[in-house]
Amino acid sequence: MSDTFFGPDFNQLQRQDPEIAAVVMSELDRQRKSLQLIASENFTSPAVLATLGSTLSNKYAEGYPGKRYYGGCEEVDKAEVIGIARAKELFGAEHANLQPHSGASANVAVYQAFTKPGDTVLAMSLPHGGHLTHGSKVNFSGKWFNVESYGVRQDNELIDYDELREIAKRVKPKMICSGATAYPSLIDFKTIRDICDEVGAIMWVDAAHFIGLVAGKAIPSPVPYADVVSFTTHKVLRGPRGGMILSKAAHAAAVDKAVFPGMQGGPIMSAVAGKAVALKECATQEYQDYAKKVIVNAKALAAALEKEGMRAVSGGTETHLALIDIRSTGVNGKVADERCGRAGISLNKNAIPYDPETPAVTSGIRVGTPATTTQGMGVAEMSDIAQLIARAIRDGEDENKATSIRNEVHALTAKFPVYPR
């Protein structure tokens, strides 16, 4: 074993702060034993985790490689340069910025780069699958900008591109955003590009949920069409928690100025390095196979839940997540979420299009397959998981039955261990 100091020393943490050490261990135990079906979560690699706990965390690096406001950035510059090159190559992008602390931070930077407070932005409605940063009144985007919303058709629950074009022509937005947090179908980026060109709008794609599938060449990329693409680096991408922005070269200066000094100070260099590691992993055949399996598993899980009497919104999924209408069970999303939690199944309540329930209650649940696919589960396990979810929703109020289901969940996850060493 090398004597080189690397960073993380769990034994030292246990000695110095046993309370926090206990939390770290109990969370690892939860991740190992429970079913992780949150569509925005995944298990990042030990290599990525290694960067996050490294001495790169110590370095303050305001600015960009070669143009920092502090000395001593020669080494961390290397990590960022490597990461930028990998992002540009992986996505075929003209420009990449790895510094945003999160997906929401990246979105703030996009607004700052291309709009001014009071400008009109057209984005997907939150109740129809959009994100808080796409114009919610409780978010900066809804408070500082005039956000008009488009949604999905009531008959097929797919984006209504005719409505989108009609609204765009009427309100003449400065920017049009596509992308969502609970939309299981593919987005027609060419049509949105055409609409943007018709009204002279910037085309922004918030690809946070599906960018990992793009990286794995499992679904079409928005990069050739969009002026700017923002996303998180976790979720399907399987990197550290953080954000990233890709753009056309013509917008590079505006994007970089919006991130720093416009939106944040120094980047977290350990996270930047972690993003670089994840991008290298994404360029492998192994990752491409993984991304395709994520979709196969999501389709299988949605179909299996329909066999249990529930309804998959928009008829199923073409991505990593499925939105499930559970009204047929007689249980709302909030209660289903709680019952599944007691049974060792982590998922989330979620509004469905035209939901009669409030956002705090909902008529649906959202399930995703990035984490279970990372564990090595396949179509057969998706059928088992659907049965466990159905039983938990139906019987999870009974503590004895919840315990029985939880034991079955633990038996299943034990076959596919997370971080086994």
Would you call the peptide bond into 261 cis, given omega within 30 degrees of 0 as the criterion?
yes
List, in sequence order, every beta strand (DSSP E) within 259-358.
Answer: 311-312, 321-325, 345-346, 348-350
**Do residues 338 and 399 lie in contact, with contact meaning Cβ atoms separated by under 8 Å?**
no
Helix or strand holding residue 314 (H, E): none
Catalytic residues: 60, 62, 206, 232, 235, 241
Give dist(CA 343, CA 341) in Å, integer.
5
Give dist(CA 399, CA 248) in Å, integer.
55
Helix or strand holding residue 163 (H, E): helix 161-171
Give dist(CA 146, CA 165) in Å, integer.
17
**Do residues 193 and 223 lie in contact, with contact meaning Cβ atoms separated by under 8 Å?**
no
Tokens matching residue 376: 């090595």
Quick count: other Cβ atoms within 10 Å of Cβ 342?
A: 17
Q: Please report the sign of the dihedral spanned by the C-alpha atoms of residue 80, residue 82, residue 85, residue 87.
A: negative
Give dist(CA 389, CA 343) in Å, integer.
9
